[in-house]
Structure 1
Amino acid sequence: MHTEHQQRRDRLMAKIGNGTAIFRSAPMAVMHNDVEYAYRQDSNFYYLTGFNEAQAVAVLAPHHPEHKFILFVQPKDREKEVWSGYRCGVEAAKEMYGADEAYPIHELDEKLPQYLEKADKIYYHLGRDRAFNETVLNHWQKMMRTYPRRGTGPTAIEDTATVLHALRLTKSEAELKLMRKAANIAVEAHNHAMKFATPGCYEYEVQAEIEHIFRLRGAMGPAYPSIVAAGKNACVLHYIENDSQIQNDDLLLIDAGCSYGYYNSDITRTFPVNGKFTPEQKILYEIVLEAQKQAISQVKPGNPYNLAHDVAVRIITEGLVEIGILKGEIDKLIEEEKYKPFYMHKTGHWLGLDVHDVGVYQHGEDKPQILQPGQITTVEPGIYIVPDTKPAEDQPEIDSRWVGIGIRIEDDVLITDTGNEVLTAGVPKEVSDLER
């Protein structure tokens, strides 16, 4: 991927012109006391460098006569490496990652000014690392103080998101290869879980089977905490306790994806663990399935991003009216968002290096993002009849036979030149395939 990262940097530098962009690596995250989580690099940093160590800074300075790409990294330290792992070191940072120049991280304050003094703007995201935010701001303030004497230097700071996120939104062939692999591993895990899950077993047993396949097939692990939610637990959107015993007539909602080479998949299926939907489960399931199919059909180049959501909302609202959970005129119910107690989230999100990947959905009011080939979005409508939901004054009481049913169906959809490709189509979702 060395050439791939170089191409990404080149595209970004073409956008920032005489600016200098600064990127900070992700910090080490502490699990408890002095035990750290497995390291996960900041997505922007990884996208541009492929460098997977903490305490690093990447600088892009297209205006500099010699050094366009500079890395500041931890120097080699044999004693520390014995305890906590191999370090690339300064020399190898140039050789392995294509940096024009590399320095030890402790020389940042000394070396950074030469890459700022001729820039007209600093591109930097004010992130969670407050100490490093202060470092960047202090350098900028020093430059501003000497600006009257020199007449050069950055007079503004702009968030890197404004230039970088649009690049990340469209996936290259190399990225698509990784995302297909992540999707295929998750497809296998979901299909195994459907066979494994039986009445009487526990949600965490199903979770263990899914995540076993993730690692067995070379994934880094789950892309997010796996959701294995039986019965009314499925009405909690981000249910992750996964500690309930699965009952005979439960639907089981599994929302699980893996991370492969830093790229993610995200799949949800809901199915009857005993092999047979109850009448109420089947009615609600078929509404969600139709909403998902119709929404996916709108995911194609030239369509606005929000069209899939609007289509799903209409089908779900019509379905809820048909079965008496909502009453009224469809357009008015949608306008007044009367469906929201039962469908409270959006129909999808961008997918890539982050599960909720970067990229705008709206360019101001009445200007939605237009779908383009190479983008990947999830499509995930749902219906949740949450216990103790209080209907609006003009809406009927909810019949108890519906209460506690939660359903979501989610696929990862790539926009192609001619329409779309469902990367996760290998997990069944038709009623006839889920019943036995």
Structure 2
Amino acid sequence: MIKESEYKKRRDALTKKLSNNSLTVVFSAENKTRSNDTNYPYRQNSNFYYLTGFKEDNSALVIAKSKKETKTILFVQHKDEVYELWNGKRLGKLEARKRFLVDAVIVSKDFKKSIKKLCKEKKYLYYDFQQKIPKAKKLLIDNFKTHRDISPLIGEMRLVKSKSEISLIKKAIEITKIAHHEAMAFDKRNKNEYELLASIEHNFKKHGAYSDAYTSIVACGDSANTLHYISNDKPLVNGELILIDAGCEYEYYASDITRTIPVNTKFSEPQRELYNMILDTQLKIINMIKPGVFRSDLQKEAEILLTKGMIRLGILKGKYKKLIKKQEHKKYYPHGIGHWMGLDVHDEAPYLDANKKEIALKKGMVLTIEPGIYISKDDKNVLKKFRGIGIRIEDDILVTKTSYNNLSGGIAKTVKEIETRSQHKKMA
């Protein structure tokens, strides 16, 4: 768990980035209605959570900074017996005062009145330009001529993870590891994608992760060639591969893992050839990771290695430099090599600095590495044995002082490891 002192340290670090005579407001997420009087499960706004660790809605963090002093205020919902009867306990003002290391705690219904006082003599307003501003709080925007986006400043801070954040990510990955290994051992005969998905989500919840980090993908055969396939409702067909892109969220921190496994416990020879080429590429890219390296370097090398591999396998024909220049490889490898990961699976952290220059890897950053090849069953330009195969292999990597740590390295991914685990339950 993350201590209150760490949240305060983050707020103090953010305050140093703010201009004098400024007011900063970071809102909680709003409840979203599913239908009539039922809501979707509540998930706190990541930037608000990063600065407070508070999970309740209708809340706000305010930082009022002048030349002489800075005041930090947390607005929280008041205690309400009727609300709590239907929806659960609220922390309330008194308990919030005991818990949070802020200068003041005020109930949310007094937000307007308090903000009017705080606006006086303040020149700049910081808030998240992407976040929907509650109607009742729109008065903020109307009271300032100069608006600044707070999200890039927080995003920059979120790039480098603390020890406690890394521990939570590791826990999320450990749970995801169990789910993927169970999926490999799952008897897939005469089953459907959603049955395998149920096993994965069962293991997430069983081991303390009450939410997935994103909508899971369980894509058999040609379905894997739809990158954001979330229907998960097709039969598991003997002889096909299943691309499983699934990761849980533990205490708001994400994991993001993809493994591609056979339905009938064994890879066919063409599947094995393509899989090993992609795995070899992934291992080489991961081995490049260290402080000072740019993500674009990883992307370029991945494109070279995958293109050369596709030439060797007969999927592409020609010289790799010309093929890359013409973007021919993009037909089979259309996405990036990876992304930042943390409080969000695609962490809200910048790839470019304030001067629009690419940010180099640094100790404490966490990113995914996920090469893949996707060949439609209808692609007549490719040898028939490769058609209908979609493969992605994805791991979560921590940048260390001199190199890297593959946080998900314990999840089986060689052909031998996967085939062994796929036969586990049948042998038992």
The alignment's TM-score, normalised by the length of structure 2, stands at: 0.93
Superposed CA deviations along residues 211-267 of structure 1, whole A, max 9, x for unmatched, are 111111111221111111111111111111212221220111111100101001010
* Distance in 2 between residues matched to 1:227 and 1:108, nearest whole Å: 42
Map Cα deviations across residues 255-289 of structure 1 (whole Å, 9 max, x no partner).
11001010010100012222221121111111111
Q: Quote how far apart the aligned CAs of 1:141 are.
A: 3.5
SS of 1:370's equivalent in the other structure is coil
C-alpha distance after superposition, 1:364-397 (max 9, x if no partner): 899322000000000001000023348xxxxxx2
Say whether the 8 Å CA contact 1:380–1:410 is kept in structure 2.
yes
Q: Distance in 2 between matches of 1:74 and 1:35?
A: 20
CA distance in 2, matches of 1:366, 1:40: 31
Decide whether the 8 Å contact of 1:64 with 1:115 is kept in 2. no
Aligned to 2:125: 122
- 1: CA distance, partners of 2:355 / 2:258: 31
Q: Contact 2:152 / 2:349 at 8 angstroms: preserved in 1?
A: no
CA distance in 2, matches of 1:104, 1:365: 40
In structure 2, the partner of 1:330 is 320
Q: Which residue of 2 aligns with 1:435?
A: 419
CA–CA separation in structure 1 for the residues paired with 2:163 and 2:365? 11
Q: Give the conservation status (yes or no) of the 8 Å contact 1:197–1:206.
A: no
Structure 1: distance between partners of 2:275 and 2:359: 30
In the aligned structure 1, how far is the partner of 2:66 from the partner of 2:357? 34
What is the match of residue 303 of structure 2?
A: 313
User: In terms of mean alpha carbon deviation, does 4-13 or 108-117 score higher?
Assistant: 108-117
What residue number does 1:148 align with?
Answer: none
Matched, 1:139 2:140: yes
Instruction: State the 1:332 CA deviation.
Output: 1.8
Q: Residue 340 of structure 1 aligns to a residue in which SS?
A: helix
One-letter code of the match for 1:422?
Answer: N
- Which residue does 1:14 correspond to in 2? 16
Deviation, 1:53, is 0.8
Q: Which residue of 2 aligns with 1:268?
A: 258
Distance 1:142 1:29 in 2: 28
Looking at structure 2, the residues matched to 14 and 87 of structure 1 have their Cα atoms a distance apart, in angstroms, of: 32
Distance in 2 separating the partners of 1:91 and 1:69: 16
Cα distance in 2 for partners of 1:321, 1:403 equals 15
The separation in 2 between residues aligned to 1:131 and 1:167, in whole angstroms, is 25
**After the TM superposition, which residues 393-412 of structure 1 pair with which residues of structure 2 at under 5 Å, given as runs?**
397-412=381-396
Alpha carbons 2:48, 2:61 under 8 Å: kept: yes
Helix, strand or coil at the partner of 2:49: helix
Q: CA RMSD in A?
A: 1.9
Equivalent residues in 2 for 1:217-228, closer than 5 Å:
217-228=207-218
For the Cα contact (< 8 Å) 2:152–2:350, is it kept in 1? Answer: no
- Give 1:37's aligned residue: 40
Where do 1:8-407 residues align within 5 Å? 8-18=10-20, 19-63=22-66, 68-132=71-135, 135-136=137-138, 138-143=139-144, 155-363=145-353, 367-389=357-379, 397-407=381-391
Q: AA paired with 1:351?
A: M
Aligned to 1:152: none
Summarize deviations over 1:178-237 as a string: whole Å, max 9, x none. 111001110111111101142322211211111111111111221111111111111111
> What does the per-residue CA deviation read over 1:110-140, in whole Å, with 9 as the maximum and x for residues that have no partner?
11133332333211112342544x834x334
Structure 1 418/68 Cα, relative in aligned 2: closer, same or farther at 3 Å? Answer: same
Output the amino acid matched with 1:14: K
Matched residue SS, 1:271: strand
Letter in 2 for 1:139: L
Contact 2:364–2:399, Cα closer than 8 Å, also in 1: yes
Report if the CA contact (8 A) 1:227-1:256 is conserved.
yes
- Please give the alpha-carbon distance, in whole angstroms, between the structure 1 residues aligned to 2:70 and 2:187: 56
Decide whether aligned partners of structure 1 residues 387 and 118 sit closer, same or farther in structure 2, where only a CA change above 3 A counts.
Answer: farther
2:340–2:346 Cα contact (<8 Å) kept: yes
Q: Write the letter of the residue equivalent to 2:140.
A: H
Say which SS state the counterpart of residue 207 (structure 1) adopts.
helix
1:421 aligned partner, one-letter code:
N
What is the total number of aligned residue pairs between the two structures? 417
Distance, in Å, in 2 between the alignment partners of 1:291 and 1:119 is 53
In structure 1, C-alpha distance between the alignment counterparts of 2:119 and 2:150, rounded to whole Å: 15
Residue type at the aligned position of 2:39 = E
Q: What's the offset of the Cα at 1:27?
A: 0.8
CA distance in 2, matches of 1:73, 1:364: 33
Distance (Å, rounded) in 1 between the aligned partners of 2:39 and 2:228: 24
Q: How far apart are 1:94 and its partner, in Å?
A: 1.9
The answer to whether 1:4 aligns with 2:6 is yes
Contact kept, 8 Å, 2:129 with 2:151, in 1: the verdict is no
Rounded Cα–Cα distance in structure 2 between residues aligned with 1:315 and 1:365? 31
Q: What TM-score does the superposition give when structure 1 sets the normalisation length?
A: 0.91
Q: Partners of 1:221 and 1:140 in 2: how far apart? A: 34
Give the Cα separation in 2 of the matches to 1:192 and 1:166: 37
Which residue does 2:425 correspond to in 1? none
The residue number in structure 2 matching 1:150 is none
Is contact 1:387-1:404 (8 Å) kept? Answer: yes
Give the 3-state SS of the residue equivalent to 1:388 in structure 2: coil
Counterpart CA distance in 1 for 2:355 and 2:275 is 33
Measured in 2, the distance between the counterparts of 1:319 and 1:365 equals 36
Structure 2 SS opposite 1:401:
helix
